[in-house]
Amino acid sequence: MAVQARATQNSQRFGSIDAVRGAAILFVFLSHFTAGYPWSVGSQEAASYLRTLSMIASPTFVIVSGMVAGFLASTNPGGFTELRVKLFDRGIFLLVVGHLVLTLSLAPSPARFAHAYQTSFITDAIALAIIIGPSTVVFAPASRRLMIAAILFVVDWCLIVYWHPTGASLLAKLYLVGRISAAGQLSGFAVFPALPWFAVYLAGTALGERVGMMYVRGWQREAHHMLARTGGACLLAATVAYAIARWLAGNSAASLEEMNRLTFLSVYGKFPPGIVYLGFFGGAGLIMLAAIFELDRRKQLPILFGQLRKLGRSSLFMFTAQYALYRSVLPHLGLHYTPVWPVIFFASVLLLTVFAGVWDAYSGNQYLTVGMTALWMRFKSTGPKTIGSGLYIPGLSIPRRSIPKTLR
């Protein structure tokens, strides 16, 4: 009975996380629909508001990805080694195959392919994070990971402002660190740099570990309240910082130029992610996450949550499908702006939801691999064996006391 109850709790936990992913992917749909739909001159303001609303998607995805690792490390430590292998495998797949497929959906013609391949996707940043991040969960406690995340973020912005390389190093700075426009243009380089997003992922692992520990103690409601308070604090701090920055900018022309140049203190500073942008939209994402967790705990809106789970479980496939739909197909349909554009958007969401249901029904995620997980499972079943007080590998015996506890 205890094992069955624990299995049920684990199912509910994963269901809640999948529902959050599903909600986040809806904001991705909105973002890319807004980019591909032919808005009229008079509707540009509405489109701008929609683009701003959809900015909640990227920080939420990265935070949730980190939370999954931290959460499972505390609730299922025995299976965490297997999870690390699966995430490493999935990360390699995203970087190699996923990036290629997204590029093809963006530029199917050979003439445009080389340029399009240089495009940076949020999946690239997530891929690098899930390749490296889970190992830090094993070897560093949550408090140290938070400190590392803060240091990485500060160092990254110091490099953005004060490091001015040329040649190949300039390209490395663009994709690893991020660049800002010298002309003060926000999002002058629409790239998802690896380092700041990895810092966000690390912070997510610490938060997920805290939630996991509270779940183990049966404090689900308290964990959800903690998430809501954390999100609210981030949102409030970002709002205050942005208000102060605007006030300072209004009192000094030089300060205004500096504020515009450094997206660090802009609520719209996504490329690279600034502290106010992350605090505002990441905080909003945490509030949404807490609300979904609590509603799921109360078993409310079961039909809606069932659809969100399907979208969440198929999120990587959905990202590719919606990217092709909104960035490649929609702009070439010859549509004209109409006030009933929400009908078109909801029809597209319904179509993508059907795709997600088919993908989920056939367990399509099993194909998102480069084979490392299967190889590791084979090695696990036929490879190292524990004999007595040591680990036996054909031709090699290692005393058990020399094996790290996390690998025993």
Confidence of residue 15 (pLDDT cuts 50, 70, 90): low
Task: Give pLDDT tens digits for 152-168.
Answer: 999 999 999 899 998 88
Given a cut of 60, is residue 195 above it in pLDDT? Answer: yes
189 by DSSP, 3-state: which?
coil
Identify which has the larger pLDDT, 24 or 185: 24
Given a cut of 60, is residue 247 above it in pLDDT? Answer: yes
Task: With CA atoms as reference, report the closest residue to 125 among 201, 66, 189, 194.
Answer: 194
Give the model's pLDDT for residue 328: 87
Structural domains counted in the chain: 1
Give the model's pLDDT for residue 254: 52
Task: Give pLDDT tens digits for 337-396.
Answer: 999 999 999 999 999 999 999 999 999 999 999 998 888 888 877 765 544 444 443 333
Task: Give pLDDT tens digits for 47-103.
Answer: 999 999 999 999 999 999 999 999 999 998 888 989 999 999 999 999 999 999 999
The pTM of the full predicted model, rounded to 2 decimals, is: 0.88
Q: What percent of the chain has pLDDT over 70?
A: 85
Given a cut of 80, is residue 273 above it in pLDDT? Answer: yes
Residues contacting residue 165 through CB under 8 Å, at least 6 positions apart: 172, 173
Residue 273: φ, ψ to 5°: -70, 125
Identify which has the larger pLDDT, 397 or 115: 115
What token pair was written down for 269?
């500073």
Task: Give pLDDT tens digits for 280-336.
Answer: 999 999 999 999 999 999 999 999 999 999 999 999 999 999 999 998 899 888 899
Identify which has the larger pLDDT, 115 or 204: 204
Return the amino acid letter for 320. Answer: T
Confidence of residue 2 (pLDDT cuts 50, 70, 90): very low
**CA atoms within a 13 Å half-sphere pointing along the CA-CB vector of 54:** 17
Do residues 246 and 166 touch, judged by C-beta distance below 8 A?
no
Mean pLDDT, rounded, for 109-115: 76
Query: Which helix (H) or strand (E) covers residue 385, if one does?
Result: strand 385-387
Q: What residues make up the domain containing 372?
A: 2-407
